Amino acid sequence: MGSVVYEEVQQDILAATKALEKDDFENMNIFANRAMSNAMFGPDRKLFLLGFFLKDVALDLMGIRAAKKPAAVATAKVLASSFVEKMKEVARKEDFQEAEVWTLYLDYSNKIRKHTVTEIEEQVYGNGTEFMRVATNWLIQHLDKNRGVLLEPRNQFLKGILNELTRIYRIHDIDLRELYVLSILIALERLYGYMEMSPRTADGCLDEKKIRDGVFPFIDRIVHIFGDEKQQTSATEVNEVLQELTYKWREAFIHYMELRPAPGLIAERGVQLPEETRKKISEAISRTLEKETKPKR
Amino acid sequence: MANKSFNVVDELIEAFPGVPPDDLCKALVGYLEASLPEILRSLELPPIVSPVRRKLESLRIKRLRRHERSRAERSHTEYDTFISELYLLRRQLDGLHDSCTSSEYAISDGNTNRARQERYFAGYQDGQTSRRFPEIEIEREALFRSPEVETPPGSFQPYVALYPVREELPAPNVTIDIQTQQRIVTDKLFADVTRTLEMKLVEFALRTGKISNYELVTQTDVEIPEWKRIVVKMISKGTMFDEKIELWDELDGIVRRSFDRLKQYSPSDSEALNSINRNLFLRMELI
C-alpha cells in the first residue's frame, strides 16, 4: 500500500487507460492533467512524469485523429496502449525509477512519430540524429541569447522554437537528450502561456518582472544542463526541472484556471448571425428608410 | 426588445444619412457579430433548470387547462433550449479545456497551451496551407463530441457558430486482435506495414463509403501451427454479392501495390516485406 497521493495518481492513470481504450482522448487528457494536479499534493515529484507522458499520448492521438488524411488510428492506439501499459507496470512500485519510464517514452515517441509524417517525408528523410543534435544546440543557444524576446508582447518565441524542434523530430528518430530538451521546452511553454496571459502593464506589455523571475531561471538551467554537449546530460537535473515546471504550471491552473488567450494572439472565435436575422435587419432598415423618405402629410 | 432594435436602426440612419441600406445593414451586422462574443462571455447566464425541477413542473401544469398547459410547456422548452444554446455558444467561443482536471469546467475560459498539438503541423506553417491553425479543428471536434453540448434536434438557434461543425466522415471501425497488436509493438517493420495498410483500408472505405468494418486478426494454420497469417476481414453493408466481389478485388490490388511502394522506400527490407505480403489475406464477408 503506497501513500494516498500515489494511490490517487494510480487511479488517475487507470482512468486515463480506460479513456484510451474507449478512444476518448479528450478525457484521457483530462485524467492526465488530474494525475499531475494530484501529484502536486504530495512530496513525490516523480509522479508528475506519469501525468506528463499520459497527456502527451492523449495529445498525440488527438492530433493523429484530427489530421485530414486517412489516419491509422487503430495502429497508433496499439502503440499508445502498449506504452501506457508498460508505464503502469513500472509505476506499480512507488519507488519506481524515472529512467525506466523515460526509456519507454523514448521508444514510444520514435514509433508514434511515423504516424505524423507525410508520404513524401517518409520516402525522403533518413537518419537525422546528428542533425537533430546540431539544431537542438543551436536553438538552445538562440533561446539563451535572445531571451529578451520573451518580454515582447505578441512574441511566439517558445512556440517558434518548438515548431523547429518538432518538425525535425517528426521526420527523424530522436535521442534521449533531445527528448529531454523537447519535453522541458513543452513544459516551459505551458508555464509561459500563463505568464503571457496574465495582467499586463498599462501600455499592453508583458509583466517583465514576472517573466524574468519565473522563466529566465529555467532558461539558465536548460543552458546549464544541455549547454555542454560533451558532458553527459544529468537525468536527475532534467527530472527536477521538468517536475518543477509541471508543478508551477498546475499551480498556475489553480490560480487562473483556463485563461482566455489575449486578443489577437490566436485566431479569435466569433459568432455569425443567421441569414434570417440578417434579412430581418435589412428589412428593418429599409422600412425605416422608407418611412423617413415618405412625404409627411 | 423590438423597440430597442428599431431605435438602433433609427440612430444608424440618422448618423449616416444617404448611405445605401445594404451598407447600413452590413455595418450593423458586422458590429453585432463583433460585439456578440464579448457580450456572451460577460453575460451572467441563469443556471440550466434541473430535469427533476422540470419534471415536477410538468406534473404541476397537468392540472391546467389544455391551451394553458401547452403554452407553459412551449415556454419551458423555448427557455431551456435558449439557455442551453447560450451555454453551447459560449463554450464554442472558449475552446478546448486543455489544462482542465474535470470536464464540467468546459464552460469556463478557453485554453492557453497548444505546444504539443502544434508539433504535428510543424513545418506547414508557411502561410499557404490550411494547416496553419490546426488546433481549431481539434477544439471543434472535442467540443462537439462532448455530450453536454449536444444541440437538441429542431431547436431554436439564435446564433450560428462562425466555424461550422465538420461533418463526420463515415470512418470505418478498425479493430486489431491481441496477437496482431503484440506483433505491432515488437516488430518495427510490421508496425510500418500495419500503419500503411490501415491508412489504405480507411482511405478506401472513406472513398467508396461501402465498408463499415475492418478486423485485423492473426490466424494459425491448423495443420502447420508455426504458419501464421494476417487476415483482414471486411464487412460491407448494403451491397450486393457482385459489388462485394468488385470491392474486394479493388482493395486487394490497392493493398498489394502499397507493398511495392514500401519496398521502394526500404529496399533492404524487401524480403521481409514479401514474406508479410505472402501471409496477408483479405477476406470479404459475403453473407
B21 closest CB neighbour out of A79, A278, A285? A285
Task: Cite the DSSP H helix spans in chain A.
Answer: 4-21, 25-40, 47-66, 73-90, 98-112, 119-124, 129-145, 157-171, 176-197, 208-214, 216-226, 235-256, 275-293
A261 contacts B110? CB cut-off 8 A: yes
Cell 492526465 -> residue? A32
pLDDT tens, B208-224?
A: 989 999 999 999 988 88
List, for chain B, all residue ranges whose pLDDT scores fall below the cut of 50. 1-2, 104-166
DSSP label at residue B264: H
Rounded Cα–Cα distance for residues B6 and A51 (Å): 55
Q: So what's the pLDDT on residue B117?
A: 38
A67 closest CB neighbour out of B41, B99, B120? B120
Chain B residues inside the 8 Å CB shell of A193: 112-113
A66 contacts B134? CB cut-off 8 A: yes
Chain B residue at shortest CA distance from A279: B25
This prediction has a pTM of 0.71
A271 contacts B160? CB cut-off 8 A: yes
Q: Is B172 exposed, middle or buried (0-12, 13-18, 19+ CB in 10 A)?
A: buried
Of A1, A2, A3, A100, which is closest to residue A50 (Cα–Cα)? Answer: A100
Residue type, A44: D
List, for chain A, all residue ranges whose pLDDT scores fall below the cut of 50. 261-268
Sign of the Cα torsion B102, B105, B106, B111 reads negative
A122 contacts B115? CB cut-off 8 A: no
Q: So what's the pLDDT on residue B256?
A: 96
A281 contacts B21? CB cut-off 8 A: no
- B220 DSSP β-pair partners: B228
Q: So what's the pLDDT on residue A194?
A: 87
A78 closest CB neighbour out of B92, B184, B203? B184
Question: How many residues belong to chain B?
Answer: 287
Chain A within 8 Å of B4 (Cβ-Cβ)? no
Burial B84-102, CB ≥16 within 10 A → b, else e? bbbbbbbbbbbbbbbbbbe
Q: Distance of CA B139 to CAs A21, A108, A168, A269, Å?
A: 21, 25, 25, 11
Tell me, what's the ipTM?
A: 0.80
